[in-house]
Amino acid sequence: MSFTVAIDGPAASGKGTIARAVAARFGFAHLDTGLLYRAVGARTLLGEEPEVAARALRAEDLDNEDLRTPEVAQAASRVAAIPEVRAALVDFQRSFAMRAGGAVLDGRDIGTVICPEADVKLFVTASAEVRARRRHAELVGKGHDVTPGQVLADIRERDARDAGRADAPMVAAEDAMHLDTSTLDIDAAVEAACAEVARHR
């Protein structure tokens, strides 16, 4: 039987960290849907048309650490505003969500568009400053040469584009539980999310 957990939220809010932990705790499969848009965005940086890249996407394209750069994140956010790109990625996400044994998907439109009937919906937030601090530390740890100011600007630009687009904008589902992680460490955030999942199991 399927059981779907939808986790949405803005850039670097911690939704991926929570999604991975929830999946591990409950034995669910996990899909980071941002990787789909990042993989399409990365291909456009090489000159491919976004719609063509989205239709040609394969699961193995997601398994690439090079997708986690700020340049690819911006390209992902730009292609994510194109309705044909989003449409080409819907079936893959919905099939993943329906797999037996349970699934956790994190992104921007999971609880609203991809899985409006999800069993559990979370909308994970944190202040832009806190998110930028965490993402800056992560990028520096991976050897990227970025300033805190650049990371904050990137996050604000992506948030504005993701929330402002006409098709599947980033917005909390009406029935989502809001989880602000600004003052929570990872363990506390994960425990709050797991408690919500357990409540619906």
Ligand X SMILES: Nc1ncnc2c1ncn2[C@@H]1O[C@H](COP(=O)(O)OP(=O)(O)OP(=O)(O)O)[C@@H](O)[C@H]1O
Q: Using the minimum distance from each CB to ligand L45E5XJ5, give the nearer residue, 33 or 181.
A: 33
**Interface positions with ligand L45E5XJ5 (CB under 6 A):** 11, 33-34, 37-38, 73, 76-77, 80, 107-110, 158, 162
Q: Least distance to ligand X from the beta carbon of 10, Å?
A: 7
The one-character DSSP state at 109 is: S
The amino acid present at 58, given as its one-letter code, is R
Does residue 10 have a known ligand-binding role? yes
Q: Least distance to ligand X from the beta carbon of 50, Å?
A: 19
C-alpha 11/C-alpha 8 separation (Å) is 10
Q: Using the minimum distance from each CB to ligand L45E5XJ5, give the nearer residue, 73 or 190.
A: 73
Q: Using the minimum distance from each CB to ligand L45E5XJ5, give the nearer residue, 116 or 198.
A: 116
Task: List 4's β-bridge partners, or say none.
Answer: 103
The amino acid present at 164, given as its one-letter code, is G
Exposure string of 150-167, with b = 16+ CB inside 10 Å and e = fewer, is ebbebbeebbebbeebee
Exposure string of 103-137, with b = 16+ CB inside 10 Å and e = fewer, is bbbbbbbbbbbbbeebebbbbbbbebebbbbbbbe
Does residue 13 have a known ligand-binding role? yes
Task: List 125's β-bridge partners, or say none.
Answer: 180
Q: Using the minimum distance from each CB to ligand X, give the nearer residue, 19 or 82.
A: 19
C-alpha 172/C-alpha 124 separation (Å) is 9
Does residue 101 have a known ligand-binding role? no
From ligand L45E5XJ5, ligand X, none, interface partner of 154 (C-beta below 5 to 8 A by class):
none
Does residue 9 have a known ligand-binding role? yes
From ligand X, ligand L45E5XJ5, none, interface partner of 37 (C-beta below 5 to 8 A by class):
ligand L45E5XJ5
**Interface positions with ligand X (CB under 6 A):** 9, 11-17, 34, 134-135, 138, 181, 184-186, 189
